[in-house]
């Protein structure tokens, strides 16, 4: 893989920050966008801008075609059975909230149990807490080992006939841990529970096949996949989506409206009320095309090589403390330096043009379990290089010596 050629396709990387060439290592928060994505967004507003599905004119027809093309592309990307099982949202968070507010409110009853894990992002905790409070249901949590791996034997103990939904993250955004979701799904289905997979991190690193996994729902975000912000995807099995009530009321999600009664549209439109984020959805198609062009396996191999190199280089630094050492993980490296506050380390790295994430990474319960306020997180993507990791290591070594 020609990383230099790939880097040239990402305009934002060609700049200096604080007088130093930018080293962008915050990819778990959001990935940068290739020029094709940026150009597609600009082209839409320059030549095609129109509302979709309802217009009879040429611009509306073109916009509708491009928008629905993205839906079909996402279907193939996730290996869904049909395009109608792909719902566009504004992100992973909205996808989870949609399921909680529709499937949850209809099918979760008092005394039922929902299982999540200690590794969850707040987006996969708070909506279920709200639902449990409303319904009188109980939220159960799978514990983890110090390595950041799930204690699956405890998951077995939590499962029962009371379990109605299991919602787990596929890949930890804070530690990079890859969870054995295929095993979790099979065990949950054995007791009759439905399963939602938070694929915000996994879809950018792993091959995800929703039919092979047999998950009931999967959510992800375009901006983690080299696409625009403000676009997300909810995959759901047709029979479940059809059984769920609408999430929001308004245009597009209706068949017929009278003052006495409204009938609702078919899926996916039943869950896409109002004017959607048309331009960004269209540009998202180019992001998936970029991934397909480079190849998921090539991307994964490159990122795994970067992670192994980073662990090797940073482990030599006196005061380097890795956080999360799961055997199966993606290219996310959380750490501390000499017990310094993560924010201080992050600011000193930024002064050298190196962008990382610091804090609790929207996983406060996980950090509490680990006995930490937060970590420094470096996360690698297809356009990162070993020389950038060398700069990270050199800068961290200076920071560690300064602390000593």
- 10-residue block means of pLDDT along the chain (404 residues)? 96 97 98 98 96 90 96 98 98 98 97 98 98 98 97 97 98 98 98 98 96 98 98 98 94 84 90 95 98 96 98 96 96 94 97 97 97 97 98 96 71
Separation between Cα atoms, residue 107 and residue 134, nearest integer Å:
13
Separation between Cα atoms, residue 219 and residue 159, nearest integer Å:
23
Model-level pTM greater than 0.85?
A: yes
Active site residues: 362
pLDDT at 339: 79
Contacts of 2 (CB under 8 A, 6+ apart): none
pLDDT at 356: 98
Instruction: Count Cβ neighbours within 10 Å for each residue of 265-286 and write b for 16 or more, e otherwise.
Output: bebbbbbbbeebbbbbbbbbbb
Helical residues (DSSP H) of 33-119, grouped into ranges: 35-43, 58-78, 92-99, 105-107
Separation between Cα atoms, residue 26 and residue 346, nearest integer Å:
11
177: three-class secondary structure by DSSP: strand
Longest dimension (CA), the chain: 74
pLDDT at 403: 61
Question: How many angstroms from the chain centroid is the CA of residue 103?
Answer: 21
CA distances from 249 to 56, 109, 141, 231, 265 (A): 24, 24, 33, 19, 11
pLDDT at 260: 85
How open is the CA angle 113-118-121, to the nearest 5 degrees? 95
pLDDT at 404: 57
Torsion, CA 117, CA 121, CA 123, CA 128, rounded to 10: 20
Structural domains of the chain, with CATH: 3-27+296-403 (3.90.1150.10), 38-292 (3.40.640.10)
How open is the CA angle 60-61-62, to the nearest 5 degrees? 90
φ/ψ (deg, to 5) at 116:
-125, -170
């Amino acid at each position: 893989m020609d990383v230099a050629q790939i880097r040239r396709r990402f305009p934002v990387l060609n700049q200096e920050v604080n007088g130093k060439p930018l080293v962008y290592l915050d990819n778990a928060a959001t990935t940068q966008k290739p020029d094709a994505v940026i150009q597609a967004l600009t082209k839409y507003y320059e030549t095609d801008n129109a509302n979709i599905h309802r217009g009879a004119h040429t611009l509306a027809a073109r916009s509708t075609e491009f928008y629905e093309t993205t839906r079909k592309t996402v279907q193939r990307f996730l290996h869904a059975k049909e395009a109608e099982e792909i719902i566009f949202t504004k992100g992973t968070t909205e996808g989870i909230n949609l399921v909680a507010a529709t499937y949850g409110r209809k099918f979760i009853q008092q005394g039922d149990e929902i299982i999540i894990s200690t590794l969850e992002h707040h987006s996969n905790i708070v909506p279920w807490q709200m639902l449990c409070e409303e319904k009188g249901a109980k939220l159960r949590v799978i514990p983890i080992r110090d390595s950041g791996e799930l204690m699956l034997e405890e998951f077995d103990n939590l499962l029962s006939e009371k379990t109605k939904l299991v919602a787990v993250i596929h890949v930890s955004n804070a530690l990079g841990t890859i969870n054995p979701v295929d095993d979790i799904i099979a065990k949950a289905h054995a007791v009759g529970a439905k399963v939602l997979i938070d694929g915000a991190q996994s879809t950018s690193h792993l091959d995800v096949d929703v039919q092979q996994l047999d998950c009931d729902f999967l959510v992800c975000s375009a901006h983690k996949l080299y696409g625009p912000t403000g676009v997300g995807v909810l995959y759901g099995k047709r029979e479940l989506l059809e059984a769920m009530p609408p999430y929001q009321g308004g245009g597009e999600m209706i068949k017929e409206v009278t003052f006495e009664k409204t009938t609702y549209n078919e899926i996916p439109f039943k869950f896409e009320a109002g004017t959607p984020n048309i331009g960004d959805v269209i540009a998202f198609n180019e992001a998936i095309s970029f991934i397909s062009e480079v190849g998921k396996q090539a991307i994964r191999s490159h990122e795994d090589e970067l992670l192994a190199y980073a662990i090797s280089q940073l482990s030599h630094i006196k005061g380097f403390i890795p956080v999360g050492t799961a055997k199966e993980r993606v290219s996310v490296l959380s750490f501390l330096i000499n017990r310094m506050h993560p924010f201080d380390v992050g600011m000193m790295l930024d002064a050298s043009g190196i962008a990382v994430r610091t804090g609790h990474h929207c996983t406060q319960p996980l950090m509490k379990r680990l006995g930490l306020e937060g970590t420094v997180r470096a996360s690698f993507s297809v356009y990162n290089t070993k020389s950038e990791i060398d700069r990270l290591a050199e800068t961290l070594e200076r920071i560690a010596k300064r602390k000593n």
